[in-house]
Amino acid sequence: MAKKPKKKREPVPPVRLWGHIVAFAWLIPGGGHLLLRRRGRAAILGATITLTFLLGLFMRGAMFEPKTGDLLTTVIHVGGFIGDLASGSLYLLATLLGYSQADMAGYAHDYGTKFLVAAGLMNILAMVDAFEIAVRRKD
């Protein structure tokens, strides 16, 4: 059997070319695409992420705070906090305005918590997409 040649990885371009785009994509959902003049994609991403975050707030979802303890507690709470924080200005504005919902039993609250984290995870995907467009790995 002949060995397949390994695909060479292209080096990452300097941060000065894409850093501000990814930072703006984190801060404002869809903002990185707006800087890249992808207005349609920016509007769809911004609206979807914002709506998901707002639905989480309306369902009174709890924001995660980083907690340590056993491994499972650490993974859930730190991972959830990173997911919340990834929403950028939505998270910062909600916490600045004093949004604080205790974690309580009930399916609506639980879904709300998941919606808040899902908004952050979608924003991470939008940031990766903006990065790939900025470094010309994707159209």
Predicted local confidence at residue 124, as pLDDT: 97
pLDDT in tens, 33-56: 999 999 999 999 999 999 999 999
Predicted local confidence at residue 51, as pLDDT: 98
pLDDT in tens, 54-82: 999 999 898 988 888 899 989 999 999 99
Predicted local confidence at residue 1, as pLDDT: 61
Measure the CA–CA gap between 23 and 20, rounded to whole angstroms.
Answer: 5
Please work out, in degrees rounded to the nearest 5, the angle formed at the alpha carbon of residue 101 by the alpha carbons of 116 and 92.
55
Q: What count of Cα atoms within 13 Å lies in the side-chain half-sphere of residue 102? A: 2
114 pLDDT band, cuts 50/70/90, is very high
